[in-house]
Amino acid sequence: MRRPKYYTPNEVSLHNTVEDLWVSYLGKVYDLTPLVKEHQGDVLLKPIIESAGKDISHWFNPKTKDIRTHVDPLSGCKKYYTPSGRFVHVPPPWPCTDWANDFGCPWWRDGCYEVGVLSAKTRHVRIINTLTSQEQMLEVCSEETMSEILQRYLNYNSHAASYTWKYGGVNLDMGKTLSENGIADEDQEFYELRMDRDLFTQSICLYFNDDLTEL
């Protein structure tokens, strides 16, 4: 199976317009732009548009993967719980003859909108190009392999694959994650010691493979 793409919450937050609307929930990332276009002008889009770029896991029951429900104290009936307002594909709270329920699968159960996985924990690493002495701080997903981190770094150096990646003088296994390469996540320790993480971020050094000084 194809490995899923991981996203940081910051990356999801950048997609926060009607023309480019992403959300995350229950650990996955979804592009709801097609849904918004399909229902353009529908008042039931309001809660979704207001949540653009945000995590909406609190809308869902993590066990059933469905919208949270509650029992109406007056009718005793179970209804969807939507404190932010009723949204697309959620039935009205009372019997209604003009509600079209022929849409099939509700959008939150339709896998066609899924674009990737939300990182459970992000990390910051400093990439140092030893050839040019340039440094770049990256926020990456802890689940990503070094090869996937390399793909992120291509935005700053299109020749990143021409370098040997090392940490502490040891070549990194590009098929493994930071932790699997022995680069421990020290965020909690920094927090407990009240240390500035940015001052002690682990550094990964890049050595150009064709650099004749590296003999």
| pLDDT tens track for 130-179 | 999 999 999 999 999 999 999 999 999 999 999 999 999 999 999 999 99
Please say which residue of 69, 91, 118 terminates a domain.
Answer: 118
Where a domain ends, among 118, 134, 164? 118
Structure-block tokens of residue 77: 């009936």
- Is residue 95 domain-shared with residue 157, that is, in the same domain? no
| Residues 198 and 142 occupy one common structural domain | yes
User: Could you list the residue range(s) of the whole structural domain that residue 148 is in?
Assistant: 122-208
- Cα–Cα–Cα angle for 19, 31, 113, rounded to 5 degrees: 135
Same structural domain for residues 195 and 110? Answer: no
Do 174 and 99 share a domain, yes or no?
Answer: no
Whether pTM exceeds 0.85: yes
Let me know whether 102 and 16 are in one domain. Answer: yes
CATH number for the domain harbouring residue 71: 3.10.120.10
Residue 215 lies in a domain: no
Question: Where among 118, 150, 182 does a domain terminate?
Answer: 118
Provide the percentage of residues in the chain whose pLDDT is more than 70: 91
184 in the same domain as 143: yes
Do residues 102 and 23 share a domain?
Answer: yes
Instruction: Find which of 140-149, 185-194, 206-215 is predicted with most confidence, using mean pLDDT.
Output: 140-149
Task: Label residue 167 exposed, middle or buried (CB < 10 Å: 0-12, 13-18, 19+).
Answer: middle
- The dihedral through the CA atoms of 132, 133, 134, 140 has a sign that is positive
Same domain, 31 and 82: yes
Indicate whether 1 belongs to any domain.
Answer: no
